[in-house]
Structure 1
Amino acid sequence: MNLLGASQFLSFSLKVTAGILLLTGWKKYRRKSLLFWSFFFLTSSLSIVSEFLNINWGVPIFQAVGVSFLAGGVVTLFDEEALGFPVRALRIVALSLPFLVSAYVVVYSMVSPISRPMYLSYGITGIFYTFAGIFLWGIRKFYPRSGTLLSAVITAHGIHKMDYPFLRPVEWFAPIGFTLGAILNVLEVFAFFDIIFSERFKNLRKTEKPEVIREGVFIVSPEKFKAYANALSNFPVLAFSRKSELPEKWEVHLLTMIDHPGNIRPTQLHKIIERARGYLREAYLENVTGVVIVDGLEYLLMYNDFRSVLKFLATLSDYMAFYRGMLLLILDERSLEKRQVKILKQVLNIGET
């Protein structure tokens, strides 16, 4: 087997193996980003088969479908981590993508030694691949090492795919190009799994259960909350709060109108529910009592009427009952009307703290 064939076989094996492992991970954790990325690897492997079998139409088609699944997984990860869509990156795409695609086509038609439309479509896929890597830069807050590595590798791989239309017809470069692609595939798979096997992605750490943890919904005054924070400081709590000075091991999402990775706007109650549901499910599968803290009900009531907030809390309460979790509502009861406090306790079946 020559160098070209060996590189293709290595890339194919890596992609199929990664796709199957990610599919297995999706069955366990039910994170849709894993499902999209599984399809990304499996579909991309079919482009290698098409290249090997000289099925010309298969290379660009499977590359295009693959990068669609890659981008879908990136957007889904942003949603799962409640990061919000990076508006700045979207603006850059809107302003530059049409020009870059057009310029790429023009340069190819002028410079390419052999004009092959099939090769050109492969290169255009590389442009979208590159932008997917740029978007991934936004996850570095929660995945500092693995997120940075994955963003860099995907971006580099996209740039490498963009040279395909120009250099694929060059016989002496083809083995080098495929070898470089195989190396990037190895790094790509490593970076994906570095994220997936991280404690953050799996949501939970194996820790001893603090005595203060009980199943149900509880109202805690701001004064008592300090004691709870100390008792739960080493437990993987999921907190939605106006405060950033909370235990380091907690997953904290700030409730604010300021857009930033991890922040949640007070009007985005659905994002709190979705993140809490995913966290509680993982806790339940690990046989751990998940603890969710909502600190800032008064702030939420500034932007939503009481009925909307009550519905939101009732949904959270239902998930607590289903997944046997604990919900702590940090609230000074004097900030609400007595009638509202009474309704709140009745609807949520508030326990005694």
Structure 2
Amino acid sequence: MGVMLIAGQLLSLFAKVAVAAFLLKAYLHSGRRSPIYLAIAWLVSAVVVLMDTLDMETLVAVFYALFSAVLFYGSLLFLIEEGQVSLKRPWIWALPPIVGTIYSLLLGSGWESRVGVSYGISAFYVFLAGVTIASAEADFPTARRAGIALALFGLHEMDYPVLRDVQWFAPIGFALGAFLTVLSAYLMAKMVLSERFIGSKPAVEVKPGVRLLTRRDYERVVTHLKDYPVLAFLREPNTFPAWTGYMLTAVTGDMRIHPTNLARMSEIVSRYLREASAQDVTGVVVIDGVEFLVTYNGLQPVLKFLATLRDMALVNRALLLVFIEEGAWNPKELSMLKRIFAGE
């Protein structure tokens, strides 16, 4: 068991340092803030392994609390960057493990009250960090898998204060902990090294602006952009792997949006343009099926929606391409539509 323990600790230490290195690489490439905090968290977790090897239980509790707090903070930053939540001071939500550990160490007497309570709170926040990351959008499956693995790791860690003295469970708990550590580190490295997280500068050059085009132009324009990371809202399923395409339909499902949910579409566009701008890439948004949106929402709400997208594109120096069936509009409606794209 002693040899297994040492081997497991070395494997865990290597996995944590390795994922921290990948996170730092992702930070340098993406410009996001979340990878730097997640990297710090995993490095602190490596220190936990060293403190545990030296049998310094108090320092194990302190560094484990710091690990869970920074990890949870990094996971909140990840969701903020993804545009899924909006928090003014996310660091406040990461304080409970640190506060709980200080309280336990100052006022506790035995192991259970001094270290056990602290360890349990910290492990719970590791679980919460995993749940937070796992709540990523459906089009980011690597993040979901990394979050699930991290949540399982946190759940397993929560049983340590209760089962640490159960001898028959020790080898099982040790093996399971080592496996979940390596799995979490591996999946998080895949998450932050994915093109969805880092982004890539496309070879195709595009000029920012807003364009109102007819369906006759559709094939020519989209063929030019088929390898570009376009965000598209389409009436037909997306056929370009490089695109993030949402289908406008009343039928529910992944990568589908109900035509009445204009607010959700605006939110997705806003997040995409922020990410593209942060990566120094010209965002491109394609809207096809405006007539379908008018059928469900009426003319004025759709015109306001398109005006909002135009403003987003101009502010973020992006390209907005809107395709219409010109014959489906009467002269007055078409005039109002053209004024939006003329900036009047």
TM-score clears 0.5: yes
CA contact (8 A) 1:199 1:205 kept: no
Contact 1:238 1:276 in 2 (8 A): no
Is contact 1:295–1:330 with CA below 8 Å preserved after alignment?
Answer: yes
Q: Superposition RMSD on alpha carbons, in Å?
A: 4.1
Aligned residue in 2 for 1:192: 188
Q: Deviating runs (4+, > 6 A) in structure 1?
A: 255-261
The letter for the 1-side match of 2:160 is Y
Instruction: Find the aligned partners of 2:324 and 2:38 in 1 and give their Cα distance.
Output: 41
Cα distance change, pair 277–166 in 1 and its aligned pair in 2 (3 A)? same
- Aligned residue pairs total 306
Deviation of the 1:25 alpha carbon: 1.6
Shift of 1:218: 1.7
Decide which of 223, 232, 235 is 2:225's aligned counterpart: 232
Distance 1:75 1:185, change over 3 A: same
Would the alpha carbon gap of residues 165 and 180 (structure 1) be closer, same or farther in structure 2, given more than 3 Å must change?
A: same
Deviation at 1:10, TM superposition (A): 3.6
- Taking the aligned partners of 2:112 and 2:29, their CA distance within structure 1 comes to 47
Aligned: 1:23 with 2:3:
no
Partner of residue 91, structure 1: none
User: CA–CA distance in 2 between the matches of 1:339 and 1:243?
Assistant: 23
SS at the partner of 1:267? helix
Superposed, 1:245-284 pairs within 5 Å as 245-249=237-241, 250-253=243-246, 265-268=261-264, 269-282=266-279, 284=281
TM-score (normalised: structure 2)? 0.69
Scaled by the length of structure 1, what TM-score is found? 0.67
**Alpha-carbon deviation of 1:165?**
0.8
Matched position secondary structure for 1:327 = strand
Counterpart pick for 1:326 among 315, 319, 326: 319
The counterpart of 1:126, out of the listed 123, 131, 135, is 123
Residue 36 of structure 2: aligned partner: 35
Q: Which amino acid aligns with 2:13?
A: F
| 1:350 corresponding residue in structure 2 | none
In the alignment, the residues of structure 1 paired with residue 215 and residue 117 of structure 2 have an alpha-carbon distance, to the nearest angstrom, of 61
Q: Deviations over 1:246-296 (max 9, x none)?
A: 224111245789997666742253542231231354363xxxx65332446
Q: Which amino acid is 1:188 matched to?
A: S
- Structure 1 residues 142-161: aligned runs within 5 Å: 142-144=139-141, 146-147=142-143, 149-161=145-157
Inter-partner Cα distance in structure 2 for 1:246 and 1:308 = 22
Q: Distance in 1 between matches of 2:237 and 2:269?
A: 19
- What amino acid sits opposite 1:67 in the alignment? S
Alpha-carbon distance in structure 2 between the residues aligned to 1:253 and 1:39? 35
Q: Give the superposition deviation at 1:166.
A: 2.4
C-alpha separation in 2, matches of 1:283 and 1:195: 20
Q: Which one of 214, 218, 232 corresponds to residue 221 of structure 1?
A: 214
**Does the Cα contact within 8 Å between 2:12 and 2:178 map onto a contact in 1?**
yes
Residue 316 of structure 2 aligns to a residue whose secondary structure is helix
- Using the alignment, how far apart are the partners of 1:73 and 1:223 within structure 2? 46
> Which secondary structure state, in structure 2, belongs to the residue aligned with residue 293 of structure 1?
strand
Matches within 5 A, 1:46-125: 46-81=47-82, 84=84, 115-125=112-122
Deviation track 1:185-226 (CA, whole Å, cap 9, x = no partner) reads 2222211122222333333486x639xx55533222244324
Identity %: 25
8 Å contact 1:238–1:251 — kept in the other structure? yes
Q: 1:296 to 1:27 in 2, by over 3 A?
A: farther
Q: CA deviation at 1:162?
A: 1.9
Shift of the 176–290 alpha-carbon distance from structure 1 to 2, 3 Å rule, reads same
Q: Unmatched 5+ residue regions in structure 1? A: 86-113, 348-353
| Structure 1 equivalent of residue 12 of structure 2 | 11
* Deviation of the 1:11 alpha carbon: 2.4
- Per the TM alignment, residue 38 of structure 1 is displaced from its structure 2 partner at its CA by 1.8
Mapped contact 1:138–1:261 kept (Cα < 8 A): no
- Structure 1: distance between partners of 2:279 and 2:143: 21
Cα 1:80–1:26 shift into 2, 3 Å: same
- Does the C-alpha gap of structure 1 residues 263 and 132 become closer, same or farther in structure 2, counting only changes over 3 Å? farther
Any conservation in 2 of the 1:3–1:179 contact (CA below 8 Å)?
no
Query: Which one-letter code corresponds to 2:311 in the other structure?
Result: A
- Which stretch of structure 1 is more off in the superposition, 223-232 or 28-37? 223-232
Matched residue type, 2:221: Y
- 1:243 and 2:239 equivalent? no
